[in-house]
Each structure stands twice: as C-alpha cells, then as structure tokens.
C-alpha cells in the first residue's frame, strides 16, 4: 500500500509569537514540547497532531482556524488594509 504524502498545514505561529514577543523556546515550554518541534511546525516541515494543534491555538487564545489552515494564509497587511500582496504603497 502506497502512503499518500501529508497535506501541508499552513500556520501563523511565527506571526503570533512575534506579536506576543515570544521565543520558540518560550512557546515550547508553554506547550511542553521540544523547541525544535516548534521550528519544524512553523516551517511546515512537520504537521502537528490534532491534540497539539488545539493546544497551540488554546495557548494563543484563538480558534484553530485562526492559527492553522489547509491553504496559505493571506498576508496580514492584506487582511487588515486590503493591500494585495506585491503591490506598491500609494
């Protein structure tokens, strides 16, 4: 039986950490996981378990879909200000 490659799970963990001034080590300590795991998840090299994904969302006080998505997230600037990615400022 051939195993299908895992579907990438996109996330905003790095953005959420930056907003809160958290290091990867601080997030890892708060979640009880290895700091390298945080890096792997942020870079999309590892998909978290469902339990860990819910734990990460709860850590940030956000719903799961605000942290993880099966499709790439739109840049925050585009969501907040309507500026399409790659356009020059007015």
What CATH number is attached to the domain comprising 37? 1.10.260.40
- Return the C-alpha torsion angle 63, 46, 71, 56, nearest 10: 10
Q: Which residue bears the tokens 């739109």? A: 74
Residue 2 lies in a domain: no
- Chain centre to alpha carbon of residue 35: 14
Confidence of residue 4 (pLDDT cuts 50, 70, 90): low
Cβ-Cβ contacts under 8 Å for 38 (sequence gap 6 or more): 13, 24, 27, 28, 31
Closest by Cα among 78, 81, 64, 85 to 11: 64
Domain count, the chain: 1
Which of 60-64, 71-75, 85-89 bottoms out in mean pLDDT, i.e. has the lowest? 85-89
Q: What is the pTM of this model?
A: 0.81
- How far is the C-alpha of 81 from the C-alpha of 70, rounded, in Å? 23
Segments forming the whole domain that contains residue 36? 10-81
């Amino acid at each position: 039986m051939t195993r299908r490659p895992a579907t990438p799970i996109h996330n905003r963990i790095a953005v959420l950490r930056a907003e809160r001034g958290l290091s990867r080590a601080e997030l890892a300590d708060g979640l009880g996981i290895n700091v390298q795991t945080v890096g792997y998840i942020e870079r999309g090299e590892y998909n978290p378990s469902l339990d860990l994904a819910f734990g990460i969302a709860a850590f940030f006080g956000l719903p799961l879909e605000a942290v993880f998505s099966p499709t790439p997230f739109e840049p925050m600037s585009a969501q907040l200000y309507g500026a399409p990615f790659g356009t020059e400022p007015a």
